[in-house]
Amino acid sequence: MNQQLVETHSTTLSRTARVFNVIVRQSACRSPRYDRLMNTQPMDTAMVGIWLEDGTLQQRDDLPRPTPPDGEALVRVLRAGICNTDLELVRGYYPFRGVLGHEFVGVVESGPRTLVGRRVVGEINASCGGCSPCRAARPTHCSQRTVLGIVGRNGCFAEYLTLPAANLLPVPDALSTDHATFTEPLAAALEIQQQIQIRPEDRVLVIGDGKLGLLVAQTLALTGCAVTAAGRHVEKLDLLRARGIDTVIVGRNADADIEATEFDVAVEVTGNASGFALARQALRPRGTLVMKSTYAGELTVDASSLVVDEIKLIGSRCGPFAPAIRLLTERRVDVTPLIAARYPLAEGLAAFEHASQRGTLKVLLHMADDAR
C-alpha cells in the first residue's frame, strides 16, 4: 500500500473514531492478513472481521475461522451490506458482542453436497425446530433463536460465517453478487405483503426514502396499488419517480402535501416519532399502519385516537427469501442505484463511518474478488 493511501486510510479511521467508539486491533492496513485479503495469498485459520464489544467497533484480524456445528454449513463471504440495524447495534440498541452483519452473499465451503461450491444467501434467524412457534411454522419467532450478527451468533462482516444449511438458498447464475446482497432487506420489505392484503384499489403511503423505504415502495408498487412515497430527499425520491411511483417531499414546511385521512395503508420506515405521526395522520379510519423500522427508545402514541379510528397496527420484521431472489433475478426491483459505496473488509471501520452519515444508501463490503 503506498504512503498516500495509508495516510488517507488513517485519516478516515480517525474520523471514524469520532463517530463510533472504534479500535483497530493490530494495524489493519499493514498486517499480513490485510495484504492477504487484498492479494488472495494462502489462507490460515485466523480471519479478518468487524467485531462489536461493549459498544466499541473493532477491526480484528485475529478472529478464529468458525467450525460449523452439526447441521450447519461453512460459508466464505463474498459481499455484505451495512444495514441501519448494524448502526443501531453499535449505538447500543441491543446488547450484542461478536461479528456484526446479516446481509451477505457467500460461497459454501463445507456443508450439504448440493450446496458446496455454490453462491448462497442465508435467512438470518437460526431456529430450534422444537418450540411452539417453530412447530407452528413461525421459525422467525422461535423462542430459542439466534440471529446472524444480531442475537447470539457471529455475523457476516468477516471472511467466514456458519449458518444452518437449511437457512441457505442458492443464488441463480443470472443474479449478480451485488444484487443478491439485497435479498435480506428485500425479503423484509416483502413481509408486509405476507402480513396484510394489499388490494389494487388501495392507496398506500410509504414514509421514509432510506435503503429499506425505497425497497418497500418498489415492492408495493408491484402489487398494482396506488403508492405514494414520502421522504426528505429529492434525489432518492427521483429513483422511485423514474419507476412511475408518486412521491412527495416532507419536511418542516411541507407536511401539508399529504392529505390527512386519505390512505388505506401507511408504512412507516423512518424509525422516528415524526414518521409515525405522519403515518397515523395520513390514515383513514380503519386504516392499517405498518411499522417497518425498529425504534431506538420509546414512542409516544395518542392511544385513544387509534381506538376511536379503529386503526390496525402491524409490526413487521423478517420476510421470505425465495420471492426476493426471484424479483431480483427478474430485475423487477432495481437495487443498482441504492449502492452508495464499496469498501474492502479490511477498511470496514471506514465503511461504517460512511454508512453512518445521514442519508447514505447501501454501503457494501467486499470480502473477496468475485466477478459476478
In the complex, the residues that contact Zn ion under the rule CB under 5 A are 83, 85, 127-128, 131, 134, 142, 144
DSSP letters spanning 341-367: EEEEGGGHHHHHHHHTSTT--EEEEE-
Question: Contact, 217 vs 189, CB < 8 A?
Answer: no
> Of 29 and 163, which CB lies nearer to Zn ion in the complex structure?
163
CB of 3 to Zn ion, least distance (A): 37
74: which strand partners? 110, 162
Question: Contact, 191 vs 214, CB < 8 A?
Answer: no
> Of 122 and 287, which CB lies nearer to Zn ion in the complex structure?
122
> Of 102 and 366, which CB lies nearer to Zn ion in the complex structure?
102
What is the C-alpha separation between 16 and 271, in angstroms, rounded? Answer: 24
> Of 71 and 262, which CB lies nearer to Zn ion in the complex structure?
71
> Of 67 and 144, which CB lies nearer to Zn ion in the complex structure?
144
Question: Contact, 188 vs 195, CB < 8 A?
Answer: no
> Of 208 and 287, which CB lies nearer to Zn ion in the complex structure?
208
CB of 82 to Zn ion, least distance (A): 9
CB of 155 to Zn ion, least distance (A): 10
CB of 127 to Zn ion, least distance (A): 5
CB of 134 to Zn ion, least distance (A): 3
What is the C-alpha separation between 275 and 209, in angstroms, rounded? Answer: 11
State how far Cα 182 lies from the chain centre: 8
- Secondary structure (3-state) at 320: coil
Cβ burial 200-227 (10 Å sphere, 16+ → b, else e): eebbbbbbbbbbbbbbbbbbbbeeebbb
> Of 134 and 258, which CB lies nearer to Zn ion in the complex structure?
134
CB of 323 to Zn ion, least distance (A): 17
Alpha helices, H only, the chain? 3-19, 32-39, 84-90, 132-135, 177-180, 183-195, 211-221, 234-241, 273-282, 303-308, 321-329, 348-355
Closest CA to 153 of 68, 250, 221, 46: 68
> Of 37 and 82, which CB lies nearer to Zn ion in the complex structure?
82
What is the C-alpha separation between 293 and 308, in angstroms, rounded? Answer: 25
> Of 96 and 263, which CB lies nearer to Zn ion in the complex structure?
96
Cell of 85: 440495524
Question: Contact, 126 vs 144, CB < 8 A?
Answer: no
What is the C-alpha separation between 45 and 64, in angstroms, rounded? Answer: 6
CB of 221 to Zn ion, least distance (A): 21
Kindly state the DSSP code that residue 66 receives in the 8-state scheme. P
> Of 126 and 282, which CB lies nearer to Zn ion in the complex structure?
126
CB of 164 to Zn ion, least distance (A): 12
